[in-house]
Amino acid sequence: MTNKMWGGRFKSGPSAIMEEINASIDYDQRLFNQDIDGSIAHASMLGQTGILTKTDVKKIISGLEEIRKEIDTGKFKFSRQLEDIHLNIENRLKEKIGDAAGRLHTARSRNDQVATDFKLYIRDTIDHLSEQISQLQYALAQKALSFADTVMPGYTHLQSAQPVTFGHHCLAYVEMLARDKSRLQDARKRLNECPLGAAALAGTSFPIDRTHTAKALGFDKPTANSLDSVADRDFVLEALSTASISAIHLSRLAEELVIWSSAEFNFVTLSDKFTTGSSIMPQKRNPDAAELIRAKIGRIIGAFNGLATVMKGLPLAYSKDMQEDKEMAFDALDNFSLALAAMTGMIKDLVPNEEKLHQAAGGGFSTATDLADWLVRVLNMPFRQAHHVTGAIVAKAESQNITLDDLSLSDMQAIEPKITKDVFSVLSVENSVKSRVSYGGTAPTQVRKIAKKWIKSLEKTGIAG
């Protein structure tokens, strides 16, 4: 038996293996809302232009809304023989309203139909992900404000470098996430052109109004080239690439949470909600949520690479290869959304160990740069000379196994006689961070200012509820 939706020239139906490789309904059924919205917009346009009668349009739209309810309530029976979401809905529509259902496909193809459905889906997903990123930014900004004065070690090469504040560290990720959100919004603007009406690849001879359908579906305008309309999957690649960059940021933060929550660091405590125990070691508190977030990047970058590989050799216009775009994109974007939700929960519940952070902030002679700056500022010493003098003082403190602020004035003067007791004003970690008042610096005054600015901005968008 041939496929009744397209099998007119075929004498027999596809083999079981062909049906298995060809069907996409197992995963593209999630596009049902977008497919129905697109069909309603298309039917409305066909009625407005006189291509379909008002009676047929009314039947079609009413039938489609009934099908939407069936799918929403789990009553709809999906068929793999009907391949995809488009044919499943169209077949059910025919069962409901008869021959009028067959007129819905006038002046369109599954090629422009699926491109439209998927653009609508990616657009909706970008909006959802942007909201999730804002929620994570808000959680980080709130944490930054609460711990604007909490000193901690700042690292380069994972070696203690200079003291910073915990709030300043949180705000670094707020900035990263802002760029992520900007990239997503930029991708959304670029995808917001409607492919519907491009038909299979060449457009249509029917007098359709593509601007009508574009506006009905919330697009800025129709796409300008019918070949590109059905061949384009840039919008999926962009969504996956921006998600990959953002997932890298989540992975970096997750890595820090794994390190910070270890017994050796003990910088933060993660809540029971986002940790697990061991089946054999009762003392363990494993940062599994952070570890899984760190791992999600592999799936997300993998999806981008997978789709890029699918698309790289395809001639214009549509090829069945492009059916492989959805399953990997669904998986990647679902996992990115899950990672954002888990990270937001962890940040909200996270408790910094302020005493341990303060203790670690003074390790590794972290105020050495403050000493060098003092030599330049007070003694008018060239920075390169100040750097050399400071290195010698650090070596002296290291030989005595003490911190810089515990080193005696006489020991410092033995290396540079002009040093005065005023030098001790810059050697504590508190004074170090307070002095970093340049815009974007770690001084608590700056951290509070920037954190409040972010909180106010995010609350304006309604993110705080």
Is 278 a residue of the active site?
yes
Is 168 a residue of the active site?
no
Are 366 and 160 within 8 A, CB to CB? yes
* Integer Rg of the chain from CA: 30
Given the residues 15, 62, 278, 408, select the one marked as catalytic.
278
For 153, phi and psi rounded to 5 degrees?
Answer: -75, 135
| Residue with tokens 């608590």, as numbered in its chain | 444
Given the residues 12, 157, 399, 410, select the one marked as catalytic.
157
In single-letter form, the type of residue at position 26 comes to: D
Q: What angle separates helix 325-349 from helix 234-260, to the nearest 10 degrees?
A: 30
Are 144 and 174 within 8 A, CB to CB? yes
Residue 151: closest CA among 162, 172, 166, 141? 166
Quick one: DSSP state of residue 267? -
Residue 394: closest CA among 418, 438, 358, 363? 363
- Dihedral over Cα of 126, 127, 131, 132: its sign: negative
Helix (H, G, I), strand (E, B) or coil at 194: strand
Residue 408 contacts by C-beta under 8 Å, 6 or more apart in sequence?
Answer: none
E strand spans, 174-282: 193-194, 221-222, 268-269
Using CB atoms within 10 A of its CB, is residue 386 exposed (0-12), middle (13-18) or buried (19+)? buried
Residue 38: closest CA among 216, 203, 185? 216
| Integer Cα distance of 101 and 111 in angstroms | 18
Are 214 and 193 within 8 A, CB to CB? yes
Catalytic machinery residues:
157, 278
